[in-house]
């Protein structure tokens, strides 16, 4: 395959079950199928969604994490079934925008980030969106889908 300027080898997509994230996921799958790229699916366990008691209860945190791990594997299965040949999954914890930019992108070695413009929780909680943060600070190319 001849590599063009517009092809990416490792495409990272953030998922949170919002409508825009679903669109981003479908776009990333199509892109990976077309370019024979690796799809890296990430979801972030937001610690600030928990109350103090939950955050201090290891069983609760492990339960939330296990549920998210299981859910992200469902995304992986969908991608494989759709024809993506190489799929990886990463679950991390923290603020979604900051965690993806500072931890997930470097560790995954992605060269394209695909995200939805509106998040399921983030935009309602903050005065700026997670997408805006990632667009500003991402060290790699970013595609924002709406």
| pLDDT in the model for residue 140 | 97
Give the residue from 95, 111, 133, 48 showing the smallest Cα distance to 103.
95
Given this model, what pLDDT does residue 55 score? 47
- Tens-place pLDDT, residues 2-47: 445 678 999 999 998 888 899 999 999 999 999 999 999 999 988 6
| pLDDT tens per residue across span 73-98 | 999 999 999 999 999 999 998 888 99
**pTM, 2 dp:** 0.84
User: Architecture of 10-145 per CATH?
Assistant: 3-Layer(aba) Sandwich (3.40)
Strands in 141-145's sheet, in edge-to-edge order, are 86-93, 38-45, 10-14, 112-116, 141-145
38 strand-pairing partners: 10, 86
């Amino acid at each position: 395959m001849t590599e063009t300027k517009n092809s990416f080898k490792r495409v990272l997509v953030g998922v949170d079950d919002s409508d825009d994230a679903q669109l981003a996921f479908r776009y990333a799958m199509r892109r990976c199928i077309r370019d024979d790229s690796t799809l890296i699916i990430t979801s972030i366990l937001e610690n600030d969604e928990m109350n103090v008691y939950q955050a201090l209860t290891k069983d609760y945190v492990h339960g939330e994490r296990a549920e998210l791990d299981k859910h992200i594997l469902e995304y992986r299965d969908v991608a494989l079934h759709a024809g993506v040949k190489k799929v990886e999954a990463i679950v991390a914890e923290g603020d979604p925008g900051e965690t993806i930019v500072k931890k997930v992108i470097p560790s995954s070695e992605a060269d394209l980030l695909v995200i939805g413009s509106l998040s399921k929780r983030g935009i309602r909680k903050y005065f700026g969106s997670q997408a805006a943060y990632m667009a500003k600070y991402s060290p790699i190319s970013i595609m924002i889908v709406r």
